[in-house]
Amino acid sequence: MSGFELAEFEGRAARLQAGMAAAGLDALLLTCPPDVFYVTGFLTRFWESPARPWFVVLPASGAPIAVIPSIGAELMGKTWLRDIRCWTSPDLRDDGVSLLADTLAEVAPGAGRVGIPMGHETHLRMPLADFARLKACLTSQFVDATDLVRRVREVKSEAEIARIRAICGVADRAFERVGEFAAPGVGLDRVFRDFQVALLQEGADWVPYLAGGAGAGGYRDVISPATPAPLQIGDVLMLDTGAVRDGYFCDFDRNFAIGRADEAGRRAYATLYEATEAGLAAARPGAVAADVFHAMHRVIGQDGAAGRLGHGLGLSLTEWPSLIAQDQTELREGMVLTLEPGLQIAPGRIMVHEENIVLRRGGADLLSRRAPAELPILG
Amino acid sequence: MSGFELAEFEGRAARLQAGMAAAGLDALLLTCPPDVFYVTGFLTRFWESPARPWFVVLPASGAPIAVIPSIGAELMGKTWLRDIRCWTSPDLRDDGVSLLADTLAEVAPGAGRVGIPMGHETHLRMPLADFARLKACLTSQFVDATDLVRRVREVKSEAEIARIRAICGVADRAFERVGEFAAPGVGLDRVFRDFQVALLQEGADWVPYLAGGAGAGGYRDVISPATPAPLQIGDVLMLDTGAVRDGYFCDFDRNFAIGRADEAGRRAYATLYEATEAGLAAARPGAVAADVFHAMHRVIGQDGAAGRLGHGLGLSLTEWPSLIAQDQTELREGMVLTLEPGLQIAPGRIMVHEENIVLRRGGADLLSRRAPAELPILG
């Protein structure tokens, strides 16, 4: 049960089923780790292997049905699911397709409607040729269920918020220790390793995501792997982590000046701090995602990052909504978000700041410990 | 360039293009991290975010074309690609679809044929609704390119083999240190954390996969997350890691008896050791995957695991082929495989053994250091 109460999963299923009823769906087919974990509690790092597909079918009422490789039967048997259908995978002739087709034909017979997430930030985690075979086996119709799944998953329960708060605390403690291993002369790859070690020591189960950068007065980008290039005095170092505990992610970063900070770096940091304050004030139930974007964008101005300035967070490193001008998603109590303003200090020198929050009735509540108001200097 | 020579990537593209010519394809569309890294050298942990799709189009000749979110422009610019087309993602109206459609229309005009991996162990990493939109924009036809991609990726270059050997060495050294932190009374979750720390300290860039188990005389399954339950004298502990260095995976495990080993455990271990020896002897160019399965299965007999007894390895934790009775894939020089025999010691008590090998002209060459012939006892 992954430490959650049965009522947690019953509530999730019921909320999805209410959305299914409104959309006229007889079943929901889920294939990706966050969706499967959300409705079942099935938590494993085995998803890392692309060899096997995993299916969960949520009928119009009652508990989900698992249609999974037999290697997962033992673990799925520990969840609240009682209807667990297995095949020996990989099967090169029929890798679960007919078993899944039979299951769907049972819960969505005739011209039944089966929802699948097909929209932004989703993909179908099964071979495309097998999906074509599945469709050919069935008289049911597949329709997009992205909106109904996201509306339910976006609002976190108190049990989920507690888990996200716990992993944010892990990262807070690891960030406090960066001065123990980041210093002039130390390679960025070594800093990345030591930071992952600190996250594990502070209580992360694993560290799916670590990014960052370092450079004189700013870094070039935020998605490159670390090189052995040593940190130098005057560098700005940024570490951004998506660590996991009990299935939930944190996602925030911290910036550090190595030895000394130049005026441009201090100013950029102060602007990002102020932009985050504006985001914290704007992020409240009833506003829309774009409002929070604009609140931050007004502060960072024309040097601001063109991209999004934050996003949802929970079972994935990034979830809907996006804090961009286009996104009119209504913010609701219980949503967990990142605020992530960035700006260009000079050509090829950027800085990004990030915090994690939960929306309460009165406004934003920090899950990460607020970064210091001034760019911290190491050493 | 991720440390590879330009010729490495030119060779990969040329081999894929030879397969494309044979299959009558005008373009290949790749969307998943291992395929994208394989042809471009674009290595990032940013794939952890499901928010953005990433596309690489390999034309019938010449270098690949990247069609990617602008946040990746800087990093993609460091690869051998010169044609990099970006959009500001996420874009809720058109998240790269029209840019990709234009690119495909250019390289596969009219009734051109575009290959996509659609078969076993693949999925399309883009929203299904966007794929439907893409198809609607184009006159080209999408066909399955799984076989051609796997035939090329299955045979590793010497540069790739060196990387897999390096990460296997990292895991070898980490496994040597298990006795430093695994002892009676220590929770399995703590052992998992400390083992990940050891992998990082020994040189892993990150640890995408860690599984294992512990139990009296054997464990129940091999995909569950660790619980705080303390190790006890008489337990068999298994740790199985897929760690990464420079983009390449190792994937092997080690078993340890805590304090003492019972006769059944020693016998099971010896049988698995012998099965692996049989696999090592059978794994050679010219044999087929099923031959290696049968060689191991003959040793483990009717108590043997029903599932597969090994698989390909490289850019993913698991790759084709599968060591199962069905798989008639011809083994070729340069393939990297895992041998992974498992058996049931008693109901609810299993044991799994795993090694990593590369196929040379003369037969299998170990990449992992061979496990001890007898079940090692800790403490």
pLDDT tens digits, A33-58: 999 999 999 999 999 999 999 999 99
Q: Which of B38, B32, B31, B49 is nearest to B16 (CA)?
A: B38
What's the whole-number mean pLDDT along residues B220-237?
94
Mean pLDDT of the residues in chain A: 96
What is the distance between the alpha carbons of residues B150 and B145, in angstroms, rounded to a whole number? 9
pLDDT class of A305 with cuts at 50, 70, 90: low
A116 HSE (CA, 13 A, CB side): 20
What are B332's two structure tokens?
């070729």
Residues B338-359: what's their mean pLDDT? 95
Count of C-beta atoms within a 10 Å radius of residue A143: 13
Length of chain A: 379
CA–CA gap between residue B76 and residue A213 (Å, rounded): 16
User: Beta strand pairing status for A83-87 and A113-116?
Assistant: unpaired
The whole-angstrom distance between A231's CA and the closest CA on chain B is 18
Residue A3 has pLDDT above 90, yes or no: no
Contact indicator for A172, A11 with CB cutoff of 8 Å: no
A71: which chain B residues are within 8 Å (Cβ-Cβ)? 221-223, 307
Tens digits of per-residue pLDDT, B40-52? Answer: 999 999 999 999 9
Q: Chain A within 8 Å of B192 (Cβ-Cβ)?
A: yes
Q: Find the mean pLDDT for residues B194-201.
A: 98
Percentage of residues in chain B with pLDDT exceeding 90?
Answer: 95
Task: Grade residue A262 by pLDDT with cuts at 50, 70 and 90.
Answer: very high
B85 touches chain A (CB under 8 A): no
Is residue B317 within 8 Å of residue B249, measured between CB atoms?
yes
Contact A316 B50 (CB under 8 A): yes
Least confident of A235-239, B1-5, B120-124, B244-248: B1-5
**Can you state the percent helix, strand and coil of chain B, rounding each to 5?**
35, 25, 35
Give buried/exposed letters for B236-252 (b at 16+ CB in 10 A, else e): bbbbbbbbbbbbbbbbb
Tell me whether A361 touches chain B (CB under 8 Å).
no
- Please list every residue in chain A whose beta carbon sits closer than 8 Å to the beta carbon of residue B308: 90
Confidence (pLDDT) at A307: 84
Q: Give me A55's structure tokens.
A: 């299916």
Compare CB distances from B44 to A116, A204, A223 and report the shortest one's residue: A223
Is B136 in the A-facing interface, judged by CB distances under 8 Å? no
Structure tokens given for B315: 């850019």
| Nearest-angstrom CA–CA distance, B143 and B104 | 14
Chain A residues 290-329 with a CB less than 8 Å from chain B: 306-308, 311, 316-318, 322, 324, 326-327
d(CA A71, CA B157): 32
CB contact under 8 A, B223 and A121: no
Q: In what order do the strands lie in the sheet with B65-69?
A: B83-87, B65-69, B55-59, B27-30, B113-116, B141-144
What is the least distance, in Å, from the CA of A326 to any CA of chain B? 7
Whether the CA torsion A130, A100, A113, A60 is positive or negative: it is: negative
Q: How far is CA B108 from CA B1, B11, B30, B111, in A?
A: 27, 22, 15, 7
Q: Give the domains, in start order, of chain B with CATH numbers.
A: 6-154 (3.40.350.10), 158-378 (3.90.230.10)
Q: Please list, residue by residue across B103-133, b when 16 or more beta carbons sit within 10 angstroms of its beta carbon and e when fewer do.
A: bbbebbeeebbbbbbbbbbbbbbbbbbbbeb
Mean pLDDT for B300-304 is 79
* A residues 28-57 lying closer than 8 A (beta carbon) to B: 32, 43-46, 48-51
The answer to whether B212 touches B238, Cβ cutoff 8 Å, is yes
Check: CB of residue B150 under 8 Å from CB of residue B34. no
Instruction: State the pLDDT at residue B306.
Output: 63
How many Å apart are CA B246 and CA B57, to the nearest integer?
Answer: 23
Q: Are strands B310-312 and B336-339 parallel, antiparallel or unpaired?
A: antiparallel
Q: How far apart are alpha carbons B323 and B359 in whole angstroms?
A: 14
Report the distance separating Cα B313 and Cα B320, nearest Å.
8
pLDDT, position B307: 84
Rg (CA), chain A: 22
User: What pLDDT, on the 0 to 100 scale, is given for residue A2?
Assistant: 74
Give B150 to chain A, closest Cα distance, Å: 13
Distance CA B48, CA A318 (A): 8
d(CA B216, CA B303): 18
- Tokens standing for residue A179: 């001065």
Q: What is the arithmetic mean of pLDDT over B152-176? A: 98
Could you tell me how many residues make up chain B? Answer: 379
B324 contacts B212 by C-beta, under 8 angstroms: no
Residue A189: both structure tokens together = 């790859």
Calculate the CA A313 to chain-centre distance: 4
Q: Which of A46, A68, A153 to mutate to test the interface with B (most CBs of B within 10 A)?
A: A46
SS (H, E, C) B90-125: CCCCCCCHHHHHHHHHHHCCCCCEEEECCCCCCCEC
Q: What is the pLDDT of residue B221?
A: 87
Q: Residue A127: is the preceding peptide bond cis (ω within 30°)?
A: no
Please tell me the predicted confidence (pLDDT) of residue B1: 52
CA angle A276, A240, A124 (to 5 degrees): 100
| Whether the Cβ atoms of residue A368 and residue A356 lie closer than 8 Å to each other | yes
Nearest chain A residue (CA) to B123:
A127
- Within 8 A of A144 by CB-CB distance, chain B residues are 128-129
Residue of A351, A354, A371, A373 whose CA lies nearest to A214: A351
Place of tokens 């769907």: A104
CB-based contact, A187 to chain B, within 8 Å: no
When computed from its CA atoms, the radius of gyration of chain B, rounded to whole angstroms, is 22
Q: Is the confidence at residue B160, as pLDDT, over 60?
A: yes
Q: How far is A118 from chain B (nearest CA, A)?
A: 5
3-state secondary structure of B50: coil
> pLDDT grade, residue A110 (50/70/90)?
very high
Q: Backbone dihedral region of B116: left (phi > 0), alpha (psi from -120 to 50 degrees) or beta?
A: beta
Instruction: Name every chain A residue with its beta carbon within 8 A of the beta carbon of B78.
Output: 224
Q: Which residues of B touch A36 (CB under 8 A)?
A: none
A-chain residues near B88 (CB < 8 A)? 306-307
